Amino acid sequence: MDKFKTYTILLSITVVVLLMIIIGRKDTYVCYDGTEEKVASKCPSVPPLTVTQKTADSAITTYVASYARSRPGVISSVINVYRVNNSWHSDVTFSNSKTGEFNQLTFNIDGKTSTITCVTGCEYMNNTNTTDSENTAN
């Protein structure tokens, strides 16, 4: 009988502790800007961008087309432009018809200034190991 009382007491304590944890639980929300709030509605709203999606699309299209024109046989394609917090992101592909090389990169277009920076796949654009024959149009 003593074992039964011990298990009953342990089970009761466990249930009480679990109830205290559940009842006393306080959610903390992490807002888009990194601040923490107890209530999600107190998070600041995402401010409107000054650069529109159309402007971001035009900026990235010009940027990658200029890069592709400087590389013989390279063709660029802007896949999409989508919003990420206060900026735009764009997935872009570069393919080289001469070498068969294919690369996908992601760029960030700043929502206030349209400044473009590479986010992923950047080693392709940073590769400056080209020969004179690659830089000369045939």
Could you read off the pLDDT of 4-30 as tens digits, one per residue? 777 788 888 888 877 666 676 667 888
The pLDDT value given to residue 52: 92
Which residue has better confidence, 93 or 137? 93
Checking if the pLDDT of 136 tops 60, the result is no
From CA 138, how far away is CA 91, in angstroms rounded? Answer: 30
The pLDDT value given to residue 115: 94
Q: Would residue 87 count as lying in a domain?
A: yes
Q: Would residue 104 count as lying in a domain?
A: yes
Residue 68: CATH number of its domain? 3.10.450.630
Q: Which residue has the tokens 């390279």?
A: 74
What is the per-residue burial (b if ≥16 Cβ within 10 Å, else e) of 60-87?
bbebbeebbeebbebebebeebeeeebb
Q: Would residue 74 count as lying in a domain?
A: yes
Please report, rounded to a whole number, the percentage of residues in the chain having pLDDT higher than 70. Answer: 86
Q: Would residue 70 count as lying in a domain?
A: yes
Q: Would residue 12 count as lying in a domain?
A: no
The pLDDT value given to residue 40: 82
Q: Would residue 137 count as lying in a domain?
A: no
Distances (CA, A) of 45 to 27, 35, 72, 86: 19, 12, 46, 11
Could you read off the pLDDT of 41-71 as tens digits, one per residue? 888 887 777 899 999 999 999 999 999 999 8
Q: Would residue 97 count as lying in a domain?
A: yes
Counted domains in the chain? 1
Determine if the pTM surpasses 0.75.
no
Q: Would residue 29 count as lying in a domain?
A: no
| Domain housing 65 | 53-126
